[in-house]
Structure 1
């Protein structure tokens, strides 16, 4: 009888352990370079809320069948390594993040936990993946780069201001080796001279502004740079400079236009964030990140600010306005 009771007890314990394992709730880490998510949905909709929507569409409910651990640097990029390390210590099943500084922090924190890049510039040049088709390591996700972007941005600038001959380009060489080549090709086709300026952060802006003024550039383009775009301390001065000097400007993200800039043309980054939830789902179900190709954008948005156009004395052609996805009046 004693042996039988022992066997029954062992069986019950095994069944209980198996049931607990079956009920294990997956844990996702979300590393943010900006602010922490608010309890209520943000307006305009935030990247976090978009990711949450993507999870809900796949049947996930936070706190029930999935847990998301949010860690936010609040714009202080030096905090990112510690926050990434904290997520690793929590033994999350996958880390979601976007932007080069955040992805770099996650990459340095782990080479085993899968990392999904919600949005990134050139992941190959940054050393995040071996190739778009075959990422190769523990990182995959979505790039905001597309070959036609550079040409299209310059074309739109020329349509709005046909007389431009010299365009200042704010770039971060460490991030845009491939993008810059495309910009140069587009400039040659459109017979536009480029004034390429290295702008990585706030400390570079004053020298860049002086150079633009000195060389008399008559338009400005910014290449994808999360450090500039998502930080009001850099984004606002850039927009104010173009308005003060009446420079037609083309930006990579609508944040600039909402701040008062003239135009932006770029990928629908929120679509990438929503797709990041799909990749998280696949990874949680057993797919390796190395087997998930890095996807390029499929949808692009043109945003125009007519207030800015009036302020710098530019008339936006109807042919351009008709193509706009959003017009700020």
Structure 2
């Protein structure tokens, strides 16, 4: 399979060859270019190793494979994981900027921010980025404006907060643990505060600067329920928030389905594998010639109600039967 972005037409190749021959130039017409008949080369920068981001990557590769880009034949991946370290994410982005790549995939907001800053000469798609405009990654949702576009994982925060009232009708306070340095987290916290106020509840915040602070932050909150948004650093230490919820015997509502499987009580969340697949379809359009600058950032239009009945019971919460009956997935 030829690289759609890089391959020159026959007439152009012939004209270039004749020009070089006439000028006595050395080397072929494509010297120094990444084009040719070899596999497409895609660099993947992933912020850390958590279920939601892994599912995003797997969904992307699945989408590419099922649409004609088979790994080892038509496409090669250079997968690098920053393991939650921003300095490493910056190094990965810098390395990709000088590599012979046809496309870069950035998974999660901090990874996308570093790639957007470093990589200007290669098309970029991002995924699992909550608010790409606020994060400074694109100019607007409808017209990203540069070499980058992708998919957002902004979920239905208002519906998620509404789950608190269904699981704990008498709840007056919700404790939220989030990373102070992540723009995407602050956006969700602001939405959560508005939603809580509409339901007559108060949002109590505990921000952290690193994963190591999550346990202490969760334990500092004396509340009627907990909420954790799609915050990679907090989710990577979700066991600490689960422990606090179980100790206080209150529900923990989370921002994505993978975190429900890891111990949260419930969510209206996205299918991250499908999000990655959706991102792959955008990547294919770019590889076939579309300009990312004019491709709107996409979101999923549907969310899934996922309930972890066993986790809820360990938190002292009885899940209403109506919620179980309408759930897309119930984990016993």
Settle same-fold status: TM greater than 0.5.
Answer: yes
What is the CA–CA distance in structure 1 between the aligned matches of 2:251 and 2:208, rounded to whole Å? 19
Aligned pairs (5 A) from 1:212-227: 212-213=221-222, 217-227=223-233
> Aligned to 1:103, which of 96, 112, 119?
112
The equivalent residue for 2:173 is 166
Residue by residue, what CA displacement relative to the aligned partner does 1:96-122 show, whole Å, maximum 9, x if unpaired?
Answer: 021122112212321232211121111
Shift of 1:35: 4.8
Cα RMSD over matched residues?
2.7
| Paired residue total | 303
Q: Work out whether residues 90 and 115 of structure 2, in 8 Å CA contact, stay in contact via their aligned partners in 1.
A: yes
What is the CA–CA distance in structure 1 between the aligned matches of 2:329 and 2:106, rounded to whole Å? 27
Shift of 1:57: 1.8
Aligned pairs (5 A) from 1:104-253: 104-146=113-155, 149-173=156-180, 174-213=183-222, 217-229=223-235, 231=236, 234-253=237-256
The equivalent residue for 2:10 is none
Aligned pairs (5 A) from 1:1-329: 22-35=36-49, 46-146=55-155, 149-173=156-180, 174-213=183-222, 217-229=223-235, 231=236, 234-329=237-332
Specify whether residues 23 and 248 from structure 1 end up closer, same or farther in structure 2 by C-alpha distance, changes over 3 A only. Answer: same
Q: Secondary structure at the match of 1:298?
A: coil
State which drifts further: 273-282 or 251-260.
251-260
Q: What are the ranges of 5 or more consecutive residues in structure 1 without an aligned counterpart?
A: 1-6, 11-15, 37-41
Shift of 1:24: 4.2
Shift of 1:82: 1.5
What is the CA–CA distance in structure 1 between the aligned matches of 2:149 and 2:209, rounded to whole Å? 25
What is the CA–CA distance in structure 2 between the aligned matches of 1:197 and 1:141, rounded to whole Å? 30
What is the CA–CA distance in structure 2 between the aligned matches of 1:115 and 1:237, rounded to whole Å? 35
Residue by residue, what CA displacement relative to the aligned partner does 1:16-73 show, whole Å, maximum 9, x if unpaired?
Answer: 978x95524321111122359xxxxx9xx84333222101221111122222221222
Specify whether residues 200 and 160 from structure 1 end up closer, same or farther in structure 2 by C-alpha distance, changes over 3 A only. Answer: same
State which drifts further: 266-275 or 65-74.
65-74
What is the CA–CA distance in structure 1 between the aligned matches of 2:35 and 2:303, rounded to whole Å? 43
Q: Secondary structure at the match of 1:212?
A: coil
What is the CA–CA distance in structure 1 between the aligned matches of 2:316 and 2:186, rounded to whole Å? 34
Q: Work out whether residues 129 and 135 of structure 1, in 8 Å CA contact, stay in contact via their aligned partners in 2.
A: yes
Q: Work out whether residues 166 and 320 of structure 2, in 8 Å CA contact, stay in contact via their aligned partners in 1.
A: yes
Shift of 1:75: 4.1
Residue by residue, what CA displacement relative to the aligned partner does 1:119-166 show, whole Å, maximum 9, x if unpaired?
Answer: 1111111111111111112221011115xx122112111011101011
What is the CA–CA distance in structure 1 between the aligned matches of 2:211 and 2:58, rounded to whole Å? 28
Q: Work out whether residues 187 and 193 of structure 1, in 8 Å CA contact, stay in contact via their aligned partners in 2.
A: yes
Q: Work out whether residues 97 and 120 of structure 2, in 8 Å CA contact, stay in contact via their aligned partners in 1.
A: no
TM-score, with length taken from structure 2: 0.82
